[in-house]
């Protein structure tokens, strides 16, 4: 049974809606598919090609074969392609944002901001592509100079999370392509459609076949294939600390370079001489942005005794103003948690706090919009 997606026709017309994997400039279907749901409604958004070892190895091969030509492409030409990609992202801002809402859940206003934020990385690195300058270093030997030039590493694998499905990708792909690297992306299974839409626009912008490839599906098989390949020279990963540790260990076998942005446990500290209005506003932004699903969001509050009661009361009053719901609804300013596992984790935190003497001042009860398939866990 096909997924019920009211925006599917529009996106197919835009040429950015894809449910296959992308290798060597071609969209293909796999033997298996997996389901992508709208976390606000439980609606089936799409059935996406489930890639594994074979598809990942094909993506790596395509990126490796495309690397020699791309690295030799003049920096000015790479810059022009990236600039076209930036313009296309902004041209499709509304469609990209709506697609993101359908699979990630954040309010449309936040999604539109993310699209612009994501595009800004491509714009920035389109300009930096022409500035990968080398150095002339003084030599200890008379009549000699040492020249240091910068060269692209090679094939880069970008593994990204679901909380910012566009921005986390462009922050990795912008510098990689600007430097002359090729690569493959492995977006989160919750949000593959946004990532694949980005690849479609890159193709429209003139990124050559094989320079960018995309697989999603069997996370372990994909990761194992990437880490085992000596052709993949660098990993850029945003995600949990535990997964980061595993990737770091596995990278050692082939001496891959790694860049990681891992989970945090951020404190929010308010002293008694603070501007409480500003402190509460900051707390709301830090705690509830993207429904709190941000690696730098606040996990712990430390409030000095003298202002504790006033701060808590002000914060509770602001929390009660939040409108939680479907991100496509105009008056909603906070979307759902991404899946049942995320929901149950928050419920466990609330239960633990209450059992240890905490007081419930606002919320505390999950708003279950639909019974979502257990495959979302």
Active site members: 261
Nearest alpha carbon to residue 203 among 212, 215, 192, 194: 212
DSSP state of 143: T
Contact between residue 203 and residue 330 where contact means Cβ atoms under 8 Å apart: no
**DSSP per position, 236-266:** EEEE-HHHHHHHHHHHGGGT-EEEEEE---E
Dist CA 40 CA 372 (whole Å): 10
What is the token pair recorded at 266?
């951020």
Query: What is the largest distance, in Å, between two alpha-carbon atoms of the chain?
Result: 76
C-alpha distance from residue 14 to each of 10, 43, 119, 139 (Å): 6, 22, 18, 56
Distances (CA, A) of 107 to 101, 103, 113, 307, 332: 7, 11, 10, 33, 7
Strands (E), the chain: 21-23, 26-28, 33-37, 44-49, 135-138, 145-148, 155-159, 182-186, 212-214, 232-239, 257-262, 266-270, 298-303
Tokens of 28: 């293909």
- Determine contact, residues 218/51, Cβ cutoff 8 Å: yes
Contact 24, 213 (CB under 8 A): yes
- From residue 104, alpha-carbon distances to 52, 99, 163 in Å are 23, 8, 7
């Amino acid at each position: 049974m096909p997924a019920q997606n009211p925006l599917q026709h529009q996106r197919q017309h835009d040429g950015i809606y894809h449910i296959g994997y992308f290798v060597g400039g071609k969209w293909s279907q796999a033997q298996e598919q997996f389901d992508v749901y709208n976390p606000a409604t439980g609606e089936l958004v799409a059935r996406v090609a489930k890639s594994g070892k074979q598809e990942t190895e094909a993506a790596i091969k395509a990126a490796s074969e495309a690397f020699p030509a791309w690295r030799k492409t003049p920096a000015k030409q790479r810059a022009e392609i990236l600039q076209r990609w930036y313009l296309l992202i902004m041209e499709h801002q509304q469609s990209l944002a709506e697609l993101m809402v359908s699979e990630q859940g954040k309010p449309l206003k936040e999604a539109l901001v993310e699209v612009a934020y994501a595009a800004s990385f491509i714009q920035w690195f389109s300009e930096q592509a022409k500035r990968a300058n080398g150095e002339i270093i003084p030599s200890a030997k008379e009549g000699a100079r040492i020249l240091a030039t910068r060269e692209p590493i090679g094939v880069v694998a970008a593994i990204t999370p679901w909380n910012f499905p566009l921005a986390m990708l462009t922050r990795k792909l912008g510098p990689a392509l600007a430097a002359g690297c090729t690569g493959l992306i492995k977006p989160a299974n919750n949000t593959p459609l946004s990532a694949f839409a980005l690849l479609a626009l890159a193709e429209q912008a003139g990124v050559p076949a094989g320079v960018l490839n995309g697989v999603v599906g069997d996370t372990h098989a994909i990761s194992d294939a990437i880490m085992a390949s000596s052709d993949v020279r660098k990993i850029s990963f945003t995600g949990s600390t535990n997964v980061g540790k595993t990737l770091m260990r596995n990278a050692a076998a082939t001496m891959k370079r790694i860049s990681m942005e891992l989970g945090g446990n951020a404190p929010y500290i308010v002293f008694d001489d603070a501007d409480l209005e500003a402190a509460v506003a900051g707390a709301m932004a830090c705690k509830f942005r993207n429904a709190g699903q941000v690696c730098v969001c606040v996990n712990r509050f430390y409030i000095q005794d003298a202002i504790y009661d006033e701060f808590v009361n002000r914060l509770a009053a602001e929390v009660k103003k939040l409108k939680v719901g479907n991100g496509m609804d105009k008056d909603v300013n906070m979307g759902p948690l991404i899946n049942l596992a995320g929901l149950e984790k928050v419920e466990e935190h609330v239960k633990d706090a209450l059992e240890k003497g905490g007081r419930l001042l606002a919320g505390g009860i999950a708003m279950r919009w639909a019974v979502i398939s257990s495959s979302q866990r």
